[in-house]
Amino acid sequence: MPILLTSLNSDRSNEHQEQKKKYNVLLIMADDLNNDMQCYGNSFVKTPQLDRLANSAIRFDRAYNQFPLCSPSRVSMLTGYRPDKTGVYDLQKLFRDNIPEAITLPQLFKNNGYFSARVGKIFHYGVPGGIGTNGQDDSISWNKRVNPIGRDKAEESKLTILTPGRGIGASLTYLIADGEDEEQTDGIVAKEAIQVMESNKDNPFFLAVGFYRPHCPYVAPKKYYDLYPLDKVTLPKEDPNDWNDKPQIAKWTDPLNYGLDETKLREALRAYYACISFMDAQVGKVLDALERLRLKDNTIVVFCSDHGYNVGQHGQWMKQSLFENSARVPLIIAIPGVSNGKSSARIVELLDVYPTLAELCGLKPPKDIQGKSLVSLIKNPNEKWDKPAYTQVQRIINRDKPDQKIIMGRSVRTERWRYNEWDETKLGVELYDHQNDPGEFINLAADARYSSTIKELSGLLRKSYAGK
């Protein structure tokens, strides 16, 4: 049985009707979105639709992904297993090669009589290369799949490339696009998602809507760029001594900031923000349709990103780092009549989405999934909660040489601390005190006063992968 709305909110009077009603699930995912949104405290970035969703939801202020790279993170969230169990650490490996019997989150709903549909990018495929294809999708998870493709894919020759030689899906590349929202791939995602809801409004559904922005290339119509005059765009704070106490293996962007000057960096950040606002507007269209179709009162809405994104913090850009901006993600969950503008500062993971939705909808997930249901936090956002979050990345040492070596960087995040180990401490250790240093500028790992803290966190970190 689904959890009754009355069990979360005793003021509801229509208990009998709610007992008969299955929740729908609308899972909305952005691609490469960090927490630069108004509802998360960045007042410069315009996200009125996501702010609106947050006002009727619970906002998790400290949610973390398990691997800040598209495929490993998405597979982890959608299977309920950490990357060490899925075996997916890159953009090539298919999870069913390692865990063929896994029951994914959408598959669980499909197996229990829900209409399961995907529009856009949910499992991984390359952006922009894979737009319009199934990519690495998991076909048995869905009853219906839609792969939109818009004029952004056709106009790649018009892109401004700030970091040449890296491929347009992995470089600071942008386009101030002509035309309307509906001509862009994300505009088509919104349109197709609405059509799926219209066709299935009378039956329970699990609908996953995957937007492509703000993933590079940063393509959005001009009106969204106009929201961000270049001279108003401010780059993150930097410390000239930042890397004096950090292991070099922690760098993903090297040279720092790709060696670009301030003007080009502000161009890139402006383009990234424009894409966030463009994506936000498309989310709004889907939310409007939910209300118009009278589905809002029995549909759980989850909004998240696959991972965070660096936009110049520590001279780093994009993902694949263990710093806060890369590891942290937005996570917003709206449950009809329950989660009205709440927030929780407890540490949670994308891995927790699977058991949370299963519990809310009365479904039994596989016993061995590794996340923890957030239902108790939805009831009481400030309850005692001691669960940490784990994030990991992979590095290749001496790539394409006879002595090439693949090592792992691992991080544990508690309410106060972030602790990182590179190659099980052999290539470096980091400790940051988020109570006094939220920007992670001061690495305390070499300070003897914190030896007991490091010992405790190191033990906690090893628990995350000892049994895989």
How far, in Å, CA of 73 to CA of 167, rounded? 21
The whole-number average pLDDT for the span 319-345 is: 95
Banded pLDDT at 21 (limits 50, 70, 90): low
| Cβ–Cβ < 8 Å for 375, 354 | no
Q: Residue 2: its pLDDT value, please?
A: 65
Task: Tell me which of 3 and 346 has the higher pLDDT.
Answer: 346
Cβ partners under 8 Å of residue 402, min gap 6: none
| Cβ–Cβ < 8 Å for 90, 107 | no
Q: Is residue 384 assigned to a domain? A: no
Of 379, 408, 426, the residue that ends a domain is 379
Q: Over 80: is that where the pLDDT of 5 sits?
A: no
**H-type alpha helices, 11-165:** 15-19, 48-54, 70-79, 83-86, 95-98, 105-111, 151-154
Supply 1's token pair.
């049985």
| Cβ–Cβ < 8 Å for 177, 155 | yes
Same domain, 410 and 320: no
Q: Residue 52 is part of a domain; what is its CATH number?
A: 3.40.720.10
Q: Residue 14: its pLDDT value, please?
A: 43
How far, in Å, CA of 35 to CA of 284, rounded? 18
| 437: containing domain | 389-463
Same domain, 371 and 398: no
Q: What residues are paired with 410 via a beta bridge?
A: 392, 421
Q: What residues are paired with 390 via a beta bridge?
A: 412
| Cβ–Cβ < 8 Å for 316, 253 | yes
What is the three-class DSSP state of 190?
Answer: helix
**Strand 205-214 versus strand 115-120 pairing type:** parallel
155 backbone dihedrals φ, ψ, rounded to 5°:
-110, 25
Q: Which is the catalytic residue, given 39, 124, 215, 307?
A: 124
Cα–Cα distances in Å, from 267 out to 260, 308, 426? 11, 20, 38
Q: How many helices (H) and strands (E) does the chain have?
A: 15, 17
Supply 226's token pair.
């106009």
Task: Tell the residue number behind the tokens 């919104």, with chain if given.
Answer: 190
How many other CB atoms are there within 10 angstroms of residue 96's CB atom? 16
| Cβ–Cβ < 8 Å for 338, 378 | yes
Same domain, 369 and 452: no
How far, in Å, CA of 141 to CA of 354, rounded? 14
DSSP 464: T
Supply 369's token pair.
């999934």
Cβ partners under 8 Å of residue 3, min gap 6: 359, 360, 361, 362, 375
Report the Cα 268 to chain-centroid distance in Å: 20
Same domain, 159 and 253: yes
| Cβ–Cβ < 8 Å for 198, 190 | no
Active-site residue flag, 215: no
Banded pLDDT at 17 (limits 50, 70, 90): very low
Adjacency order of strands within the sheet including 218-221: 160-161, 173-177, 218-221
Q: Is residue 52 assigned to a domain? A: yes
Q: Which is the catalytic residue, given 39, 70, 275, 361?
A: 70
Same domain, 353 and 397: no
| Predicted TM-score (pTM) above 0.85 | yes
| Cβ–Cβ < 8 Å for 432, 417 | yes
Same domain, 362 and 397: no
Same domain, 401 and 362: no
Of 379, 404, 433, the residue that ends a domain is 379
How many other CB atoms are there within 10 angstroms of residue 213's CB atom? 29
Same domain, 409 and 367: no
Active-site residue flag, 70: yes
Same domain, 292 and 194: yes
Q: Is residue 149 assigned to a domain? A: yes
Supply 112's token pair.
């229990």
Q: What confidence tens digit (pLDDT) does each residue in 128-147 have?
A: 999 999 999 999 999 999 99
Q: Residue 422: its pLDDT value, please?
A: 98
Count of domains forming the chain: 2
Q: Residue 328: its pLDDT value, please?
A: 98
Same domain, 429 and 347: no
Q: Residue 330: its pLDDT value, please?
A: 98
Banded pLDDT at 12 (limits 50, 70, 90): very low
Q: Residue 64: its pLDDT value, please?
A: 98
Q: Is residue 229 assigned to a domain? A: yes
Task: Tell the residue number behind the tokens 């998360």, with chain if given.
Answer: 40
Cα–Cα distances in Å, from 414 out to 309, 347, 350, 358, 462? 20, 7, 15, 25, 14
Measured over all CA atoms, what is the biggest interatomic distance in the chain, rounded to whole angstroms? 70
Q: Residue 337: its pLDDT value, please?
A: 87
Q: Residue 465: its pLDDT value, please?
A: 87
Q: What confidence tens digit (pLDDT) does each residue in 70-87 have?
A: 999 999 999 999 999 999
How far, in Å, CA of 389 to CA of 410, rounded? 11
Q: Is residue 335 assigned to a domain? A: yes
Of 321, 353, 379, the residue that ends a domain is 379
How far, in Å, CA of 215 to CA of 73, rounded? 15
Task: Tell the residue number behind the tokens 């704070």, with chain if given.
Answer: 237
Same domain, 187 and 225: yes
| Nearest residue to 91 via CA among 132, 120, 121, 118 | 121
Same domain, 310 and 397: no
Supply 312's token pair.
């110049």
Q: Is residue 468 assigned to a domain? A: no
